């Protein structure tokens, strides 16, 4: 491999000649051979948006010439287009402030900007040359890793929520709303404690699933106003040293132009909070964890209701997507449900990592930022993908097994609950227990008990009349 010599404040180091990164990136690359988890691409894109916005604002404030500004902006655009993807090699497990990823971005932009301006960055023009772009003095002007990384994180989160998770939720929500209407008149037995309970409609059951998603969506949206508050402009410890008083406000406005976000970014009202606390990220993580819990419940219910095909509950049918066993011929498993439940437990673990990480904001800086970023963005991705997969390969194709539903409902002893207002709890319980002991029907034992007539039983025990309160 061909190498070149790059320099930083610690001296010289060899860097692969075909790469745009510099000395600080190389040191991190060599010093942190930990895991395979690379800095998320969403963070890289968010950083590119941020660096572009910062360059434009520095130019507006008279702190950077137009030529450098334009070159930096173009380099950022190329990053956003994916043209420089191979230049961001760093892992998550690095410095807790994300300093090396910030410098990775600064170095790549700096070198590519010089190239755009006609300079050979490998030979480095003189520092006073008009086409020299310094990673710190120009690309990072008015900034610190301590305010750029949390800003990039929040840019990534707000954009990915809009791009991924909210549309995914809405998609499955629509499917479940359709199923609610489709199953509105199918009366079935309910279950509590995994035991028979009073009737409801299959549509009512599915309406609960749909509303879970509506609630989860609202909870995620509720977190966004806190995530739109950006730390940029706080620099090292929140004081804004070496920045400009208007920098944060102007960068936030520029980011809104660039990203066309529905949820506008604003300058964080207290940069000391913005650098050292990630409570907004914990809030979001909790909402994602709540969504994961809801998806776990929905997926579990679906696979229970579809269990069988002959020895389970079997009240619904789900699509048969692939063979389920290497030894049992013809077996088909609820695989989409299983994928969703695995994602749910992963997200629960992610939430624990985010919460622990966010609690470690010592003095003026939290140094768990990359792990917080990784876990949140993974949770968003996994939940989004699994919800879309579950919708496409399972939920849309769910149908009711009305024959099985009717059979199980008619056999249920809990229809006896309808008799409570007429003969009292104790007598109704006696009828149910006797029927269960004798293996007979409720109707038979109700009549045999002498507590009511056959006509009264048929009038009072009507499952269709047991699915809503009555005055």
* Residues with catalytic roles: 193, 325
**Nearest partner of 230 among 208, 199, 259, 191, judged by Cα:** 259
CB 162 within 8 A of CB 263: yes
CB atoms inside a 10 Å sphere around CB 201: 21
CA distance 99 to 118: 29
Residues 6+ apart with CB under 8 A from 83: none
**Nearest partner of 231 among 356, 144, 156, 353, judged by Cα:** 144
Residue 452 token pair: 């009511």
CB atoms inside a 10 Å sphere around CB 227: 21
Sign of CA dihedral 356, 360, 366, 371: negative
CB 131 within 8 A of CB 173: no
Phi, psi angles (nearest 5°) of residue 128: -95, 5
Residue position matching structure tokens 């909870």: 219
Q: How many CA atoms lie within 13 A of 445 on its CB side?
A: 20
* Cis previous bond, 309, omega within 30: yes
Residue position matching structure tokens 């249920």: 412
202-227 vs 279-305: helix crossing angle, rounded to 10 = 170
Residue position matching structure tokens 């792990």: 371
CA distance 343 to 221: 21
CB atoms inside a 10 Å sphere around CB 167: 13
**Nearest partner of 231 among 219, 217, 243, judged by Cα:** 243
What stretch of H or E contains 171?
helix 166-182
Task: For residue 366, give the 3-state DSSP assignment.
Answer: strand
Residue position matching structure tokens 């998603």: 213
99-116 vs 41-60: helix crossing angle, rounded to 10 = 60
What stretch of H or E contains 160?
helix 145-160
- Which of 18-34 are b and which e, b meaning 16 or more Cβ less than 10 Å from the residue's Cβ? ebbbbbbbbbbbeeeee
**Nearest partner of 226 among 56, 358, 348, judged by Cα:** 358
């Amino acid at each position: 491999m061909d190498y070149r010599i790059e320099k930083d404040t610690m001296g010289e180091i060899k860097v692969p000649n075909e790469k745009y990164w510099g000395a600080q990136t190389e040191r991190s690359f060599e010093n942190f051979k930990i895991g395979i988890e690379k800095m998320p691409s969403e963070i890289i894109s968010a950083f590119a948006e941020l660096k572009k916005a910062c360059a434009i604002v520095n130019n507006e404030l008279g702190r950077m010439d137009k030529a450098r500004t334009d070159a930096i902006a173009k380099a950022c655009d190329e990053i956003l287009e994916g043209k420089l993807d191979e230049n961001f090699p760093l892992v998550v497990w690095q410095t807790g402030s994300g300093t090396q990823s910030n410098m990775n971005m600064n170095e790549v932009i700096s070198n590519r900007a010089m190239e755009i301006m006609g300079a050979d960055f490998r030979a480095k023009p003189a520092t006073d040359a008009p086409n020299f772009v310094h990673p710190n003095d120009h690309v990072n002007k008015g900034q610190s890793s301590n305010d750029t990384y949390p800003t990039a994180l929040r840019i990534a989160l707000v954009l990915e929520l809009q791009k991924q998770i909210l549309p995914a939720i809405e998609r499955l929500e629509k499917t479940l709303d359709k199923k609610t209407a489709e199953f509105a008149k199918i009366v079935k037995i309910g279950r509590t404690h995994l035991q028979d309970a009073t009737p409801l409609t299959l549509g009512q059951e599915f309406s609960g699933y749909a509303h879970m998603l509506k609630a989860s969506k609202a909870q995620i949206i509720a977190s966004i106003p806190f995530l739109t508050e950006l730390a940029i402009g706080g620099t090292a410890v929140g004081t804004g040293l070496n920045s400009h008083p208007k920098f944060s406000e102007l960068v936030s406005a520029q980011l809104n132009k660039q990203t066309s976000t529905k949820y506008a970014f604003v300058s964080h009202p207290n940069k000391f909070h913005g650098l050292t606390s990630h409570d907004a990220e914990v809030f979001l993580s909790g909402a994602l964890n709540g969504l994961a819990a809801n998806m776990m419940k929905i997926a579990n219910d679906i696979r229970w209701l579809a269990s069988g095909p002959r020895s389970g509950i079997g009240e619904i049918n789900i699509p048969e997507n692939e063979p389920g066993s290497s030894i049992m011929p013809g077996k088909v498993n609820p695989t989409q449900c299983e994928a969703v439940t695995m994602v749910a437990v992963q997200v629960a673990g992610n939430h624990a990592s985010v919460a622990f990480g966010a609690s470690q904001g010592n003095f003026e800086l939290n140094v768990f930022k990359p792990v917080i970023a990784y876990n949140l963005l993974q949770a968003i991705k996994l939940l989004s993908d699994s919800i879309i997969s579950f919708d496409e390969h399972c939920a849309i194709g769910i149908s009711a097994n009305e024959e099985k539903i009717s059979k199980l409902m008619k056999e249920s002893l809990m229809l006896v609950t309808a008799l409570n207002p007429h003969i009292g709890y104790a007598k109704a319980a006696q009828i149910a227990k006797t029927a269960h002991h004798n293996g007979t029907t409720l109707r038979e034992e109700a009549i045999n008990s002498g507590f009511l007539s056959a006509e009264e039983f048929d009038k009072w025990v009507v499952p269709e009349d047991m699915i809503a309160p009555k005055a």
